[in-house]
Amino acid sequence: MKLMRIGAVGHERAAVAVDDSHYVDISDLVADFDADFFQSEKWIELGPEVQKRIEQKAFRKVEGQRIGAPFARPHQIICIGLNYADHAKESGAEVPPEPIIFTKAPNTLIGPNDSVIIPKNSLKCDWEVELGVVIGKQAKYLSSPEEAAKHIAGYVLCNDVSEREFQLERQGQWSKGKSSETFNPAGPWLVTRDELSDVSDLKMSLSVSGQVRQNSSTAQMVFKPDFLVYYLSQFMVLEPGDLINTGTPPGVGLGFKPPVYLKDGDVMQLEIEGLGRQTQPVVAYRGN
């Protein structure tokens, strides 16, 4: 099932995507795609009713409506650094022996086509197409990656927007280069694990103002999603609805020589096979 949320910011309605252009409204059945929803695995019992509405052609058009992030604000957003070997190389770093972990402010989450704001005093705003993993039920001290797979609700396309000066030149942890407003577009859908059980080789790409910058596959990932959930559960409790951004392939602005960064008026377009597409206008911070 492809879960999505339609509506203005703060007023999104629960829906299920039928195709790229149509959806079925299920806000009468589900209050929101939040921790309670994922913990109960309600998407399983929703199947027959959703199918009934599809057969009755109770469709609505996506065109002209805002698409929100496909799940409510999570307890936490956890990110994995240098998880693609060729991206580590372009960053001048070694592939780490264990996952590099940092956090991102949960209020960075926005819809897939919302504007990304270049922060105040920023000169090095960058892009990162990533596979996102959404937790389905609480996970702590899991025994294996196989067990961890059962704790995944589904997968989502994310853009882990980053400010490289804040991240790398201003001391401390990476989080402050990752947590500016609008820095985590997600969606258009959350594809549940029963529909997309194999994410080991999904094509992924990102372009900026028509120029392809990233073009790779999740097959290049060093630490796979099941292992990441297992690994993280040894250090923290993962809650239903939490988001894990699993890292980015090469082609980020930082890796170019000289580096290339986002500017006011750019448009980012990104896609992961089976997880849909995003288009984000880039705008400079204007004090509101």
Predicted pLDDT at 24? 96
Q: Which residue has the tokens 């264990």?
A: 98
Paired residues of 205 in beta bridges: 215, 271
Q: For residues 170 and 173, what is the distance between their CA atoms, to the nearest angstrom?
A: 9
Asked if pLDDT for residue 197 goes beyond 90, the answer is no
Spell out where the chain has E strands: 2-6, 13-17, 22-25, 60-61, 67-68, 77-81, 100-104, 109-110, 116-118, 125-126, 129-135, 152-159, 162-163, 184-192, 203-208, 211-217, 243-245, 267-272, 276-284
Residue 259 DSSP label: -
All structural domains of the chain, each given as residue ranges with its CATH number in brackets, are 2-61 (no CATH), 72-284 (3.90.850.10)
What is the Rg, in whole angstroms, of the alpha carbon atoms belonging to the chain? 18
pLDDT tens digits, one per residue of 19-30: 999 999 999 999
Model pTM score: 0.95
Confidence tier at 173 by pLDDT (50, 70, 90): confident
Asked if pLDDT for residue 44 goes beyond 80, the answer is no
Asked if pLDDT for residue 43 goes beyond 90, the answer is no
Predicted pLDDT at 88? 73
pLDDT tens digits, one per residue of 229-240: 999 999 999 999
Mean pLDDT score across all residues of the chain = 95
